[in-house]
Structure 1
Amino acid sequence: MIGMPQGAEWLVILAIVIIVFGAAKLPELARGTGQALRIFKSETKGLRDDDKDDQDDVAQAKVTPDPAPSELPPARTDEAGPQTGTATTPNSADKHHG
């Protein structure tokens, strides 16, 4: 099995990096790696905070009861009786009353 490098293996890896990138580029490479790690950590922390906020919102929504539905005003009735769902116009009312 392949495990984490130990002792002398790190020295070999460091020697290969120096050969590939050169000694002058190592500080720049380290700075770039450090910036990338900081950005990665801040983004993952932001995602965790967003997930936590979302979970808190869901938990709050479960605890808070929904407001009671507003009541509708009573249905209008004219002198002939309750409406049957069709619109009455003055002409149709005159036909019924004579």
Structure 2
Amino acid sequence: MGAMQPMHWLIVAVVVVILFGSKKLPDAARGLGRSLRIFKSEVKEMQNDDAAPAAPVVAQAPVQLPTAQVTATGAAAAPIAQPNEVKPL
């Protein structure tokens, strides 16, 4: 014999109707159905976002670091300062 027989399910159903009332049960079921539909659509949208191909990566020219310049006297001049480049993600 199973733990929950049909008589047990009937008792549980009667207790639920008594606690929540017959008018609130359809509203609760409707709200639960809406919530599940929203949840399913969001999960589906997340899966579609993951499956979508990523944006193509644009190749950039290599960055050259400034080098010291040698003057006519043989002394090294300070390197030319260049602005910092912002690399896209």
1:67 maps to which of 59, 64, 69: 59
Q: Tell me, what secondary structure is at the counterpart of 1:60?
A: coil
The structure with the greater share of residues assigned to strand is 1
RMSD: 3.2
What are structure 2's unaligned runs of at least 5 residues? Answer: 79-89
2:36 maps to which of 33, 37, 40: 40
Whether 1:28 and 2:20 are equivalent positions in the alignment is no
Relative contact order (C-alpha < 8 Å, sep 6+): which is higher? 2
The structure with the greater share of residues assigned to helix is 1
Name the TM-score, length of structure 2 as normaliser: 0.51
1:77 maps to which of 56, 69, 72: 69
Amino acid at match of 1:78: V
What are structure 1's unaligned runs of at least 5 residues? Answer: 3-8, 88-98
Paired-residue identity, %: 13
Name the TM-score, length of structure 1 as normaliser: 0.47
Residues paired across the two proteins, number: 68
Q: Kindly name which structure, 1 or 2, has the bigger radius of gyration based on alpha carbons.
A: 1
State the partner residue of 1:52.
48
Structure 1 residue 68, shift from structure 2 partner: 1.6
State the partner residue of 2:87.
none
Amino acid at match of 1:37: G
Deviations 1:46-84 (A, max 9, x none): 12102211321xx234xx13422442255231222668x
